Structure 1
């Protein structure tokens, strides 16, 4: 088993590969996603890290799930154990979202080790995607809004809700908030969780 840390995921190269495979120009993809073509260009050049909601808009326009986007080739039989350095970072550089077994074929759930620095946010645009999600706060505190209901959770507290309801995560504390979450089907890594940042 390889215990070396995974290379950072090249979001720009992967997006360009998928866009070209579908015969789309940057302008056409941007039009379908409802964003500027300069945004697509900057993402492809890795000059900006898109928020999860922005990445979801772009991938929905292809259409490609987040799971498919981040999946690579699983070199052999899927492994049952993953060292910390083997988790795939799908965060944006400020917010850390480390996905367990990202390259496992036919994965039916997403397990994510999330870290929200103080002030980080999933974005003003509420998230909505198919499935259910839940998590347990390991440390720090997080404000979660689900369909208008707001809860502030601390270490040991948990959440579970229908992901089709509009939702948002914000770290309103003064220390990192760490959460271990799961969702099924894996729509969040399928276009689920945002790169939560302000």
Structure 2
């Protein structure tokens, strides 16, 4: 997905200048320009701040088009939608992958297949959105901060919390972490 083009299109549709969006999101208009030109990729937290500033959810921003004439129940791995932008330099592998099952805009539940490379995190800013989320760690370990509490979870462990509480995910280990998670209603 062309994140920069999509962001620019939504910003213009809302009648916002780069400067207005930057002010609302707490970023510089130079940063907005670089993102829209795909010269830099925002962190998950920065992208969330941008989308909150234009009142668009992550699910809506990354929505895929599903066939409306016929319900779709099954998805191959290639049909998931990547909703986390790459946060690394050109030629390096992606540190964080958040793959969404189906079009969350059409459902009351958002399912994600998450992968965190060693050192990857959701960004220095804590996330907060209108939902509840839960997940089970499939492999590796993840450090999760929820409000002022920090926990490290491993394979088979899980979490469940109100997403309005400030939170962050961080892989502090030297192996990849994989999580299957859910968010209801879709707001991330």
TM-score by length of 2: 0.90
Matched ranges for 1:157-196 at <5 A: 157-188=157-188
Q: Is the 8 A contact 2:64 2:102 kept in 1?
A: no
Residues 45 and 183 (structure 1), Cα distance of their counterparts in 2 relative to 1, 3 Å cut = same
Residues 165 and 50 (structure 1), Cα distance of their counterparts in 2 relative to 1, 3 Å cut = same
Matched ranges for 1:3-22 at <5 A: 9-22=1-14
Q: Secondary structure at the match of 2:15?
A: coil
For 1:85, which of 64, 73, 78 is the aligned residue? 78
Q: Is the 8 A contact 2:58 2:83 kept in 1?
A: no
| RMSD of aligned residue pairs (Cα, Å) | 1.3
How many residues are paired up?
179
CA distance in 2, matches of 1:184, 1:92: 22
CA distance in 2, matches of 1:97, 1:62: 22
CA distance in 1, matches of 2:165, 2:57: 19
Q: Secondary structure at the match of 2:23?
A: helix
Matched ranges for 1:119-134 at <5 A: 119-134=119-134
Tell me the alpha carbon deviations over residues 42-77 of structure 1, each in whole angstroms, 9 at most, x when there is no partner: 111111111111111111111211111111432343
CA distance in 2, matches of 1:80, 1:185: 19
CA distance in 2, matches of 1:35, 1:66: 18
**1:3 equivalent in structure 2:** none
User: Which sections of structure 2, spanning at least 5 residues, go unmatched?
Assistant: 87-94
Deviation at 1:105, TM superposition (A): 4.6
Deviation at 1:92, TM superposition (A): 2.3
CA distance in 1, matches of 2:18, 2:186: 27
For 1:68, which of 60, 64, 77 is the aligned residue? 60
Quick check: 1:56 aligned with 2:48? yes
Deviation at 1:135, TM superposition (A): 0.3
TM-score by length of 1: 0.85
Quick check: 1:98 aligned with 2:99? yes
**1:5 equivalent in structure 2:** none
Q: Secondary structure at the match of 2:40?
A: coil
